[in-house]
Structure 1
């Protein structure tokens, strides 16, 4: 076989001239990033002929183009998750190829897209503090201009992280809605301090408005170190108590056990947030989360009636689908 080198690659010169030009043009264009004008000069043909050769290369299968979308929705996994857990909506997003920050942003983009699909002009939207909620809000543009209500107090966060007040105001600015916020910590020093804070006019008024929310976006906290900010803030005695009570997760400050039932404890008495009962009454609650470590928490959150729809990565979806079949949807009838 006679060969020549083109762009560092071997080409069979026994091919018909047109096919030889097609292969050479394709290699120079797709592998060497050469322009059509450059290729035309090298082959002694017009750039219009180069364009036709490149089109023929694609049509004949000489060039095969594969587009990898790292944020693509996995339709079958989404359907399986929706059916398995009785969810109204489920989106499983493939972010495995992305780095940490890009992964969270892509999940946030998908969650915002779902919110845009289901939000109605008559809704009242609730947002608690959550890192995943903060990742989602920048993509809220396009939602209807409805009231946006803060569902939980603030944590002591690094300076670069948004507080729940920031998140709610950013969401309102992007949608044109009205923000309803309050300034208070999520975790008070003790139960009496939490009671006093919850009784303050601004706090009580906003949490009362939260009872009128019809749509909410929440994150999921798994009850273990690094999986929940609340866990990290709890005292050793509180963690021991919650372990005895079989707490597996928290959503917007609501602690719940493996059956999804709310848990009253020393820590929950210190929280300034929407009550578990009121959270369960919201018509549509979209949870956005990632990582297999949060599977038990999300499963219990769905079972307990806190979550009606979910946006998750493939890792979390596979962990949920690998669970026993009886760990399914809530019996709350929402």
Structure 2
């Protein structure tokens, strides 16, 4: 309690009174390094939340271009070209965690899709006090090799701890063997309760899965799809997925048979959610990202600079092509 009280006093003097760390150290009769640790503790515990507001007029060029093209609020994360894909993901996940924290308030129902990107985001979430908030899993995680409970529950638990929220897991497979089995399961009262929660989401958090990514999406690398499934996706020209619901680069889903067996939310349901936060890292996901944006699945996009640049440049190149 004493440390938290000191962290609060230091944060108030630093952020609200504009005192220097040296001045705070003198007032608290401690060292400058101790003040620095107190300020770090205040941020990590949620006593302090730092928010950078970006208006459309002052947003950087790439963010404005993405907003004009796709109608989303874009947050482009500057990342050095020297970083590898895992390091880039970590930078993007850190900013995404802070953005998500600013958008989640009390009485929220937050839908969370498991995956490599969202897992990285969950590890960077700081605590924020909310009341009567619920975290609901968007898609099942079981497959023929594992129940998926451990992997998905770790992500959900981190979100629950961060917001002091109740966690509702979705105890079904990621993909059913038969569409008829899914239809029957969706009539069960326990599953209907979960579907009702999903239908009342106020915030949704998800990444974009891609079979082409150098940092493999979990749905493609975790034993969820066999060779027949992958062949079917290639034949349907699938470019990516959100919460294990697949789509093409033009955002379409018609005729993709695997979606009939998927436990993920339909695009129509997802588009009803007020804030839909899409987190993407890695230029290899460009086709999947474009499909998700064209489909209108996101209201907010958090993306690394290289991927954002490639998205904008490829859009400009496509527009410059002569019409046949």
Does TM-score exceed 0.5, indicating one fold? yes
**What SS does the corresponding residue of 2:136 show, helix, strand or coil?**
strand
Distance across 1 between alignment mates of 2:302 and 2:173: 28
Cα deviation, residue 106, structure 1: 1.9
Counterpart of 1:134 in structure 2 is: 119
State how 1:168-187 maps to structure 2 within 5 Å: 168-187=156-175
- Decide which of 319, 322, 325 is 2:310's aligned counterpart: 319
Moved more, 314-323 or 86-95: 86-95
Tell me which moved more, 204-213 or 242-251.
242-251
Task: Assess if the C-alpha contact under 8 Å between 1:260 and 1:302 holds in 2.
Answer: yes
How many Å separate the matches in 1 of 2:254 and 2:233? 8
Alignment counterpart, residue 281 of structure 2, candidates 274, 290, 314 = 290
How many aligned positions are there? 256
Structure with more relative contact order (C-alpha pairs < 8 Å, separation 6 or more)? 2
Residue in 2 that maps onto 1:15: none
Q: Structure 1 length normalisation: TM-score? A: 0.67
Residues in 1 aligned to 2:211 and 2:254: alpha-carbon distance in whole angstroms: 13
- 1:82-161 alignment to 2 at 5 Å? 82-94=67-79, 96-143=81-128, 144-145=130-131, 146-156=133-143
- Identify if the C-alpha distance between structure 1 residues 289 and 207 changes in structure 2 by more than 3 Å, giving closer, same or farther: same
Change over 3 Å in CA distance of 1:102–1:159 after alignment to 2: farther
In the superposition, the TM-score normalised over structure 2's length comes to 0.68
Which of 252, 261, 271 lines up with 1:270 in the alignment?
Answer: 261
Match of 2:237 in 1: 246
Residue 217 of structure 1 is matched in structure 2 by 205
Ranges in structure 2 where 5+ consecutive residues have no aligned partner:
1-53, 320-324
Shift of 1:188: 2.3
**Structure 1: gaps spanning 5 or more residues:** 1-72, 329-334
Partner Cα distance (1:312, 1:236) in 2: 30
Query: Which residue of 205, 226, 229 maps to 2:193?
Result: 205
- Is the CA contact (8 Å cut-off) linking 2:134 and 2:165 kept in structure 1? yes
1:230 CA drift (Å) = 4.0
2:109 and 2:277 map into 1 onto residues whose CA distance is 14
Equivalent position SS for 2:123:
helix
Q: In 1, Cα distance between the equivalents of 2:263 and 2:275? A: 22
Q: Distance in 2 between matches of 1:90 and 1:172?
A: 24
Query: Which residue of the other structure, out of 154, 158, 167, is the alignment partner of 2:155?
Result: 167
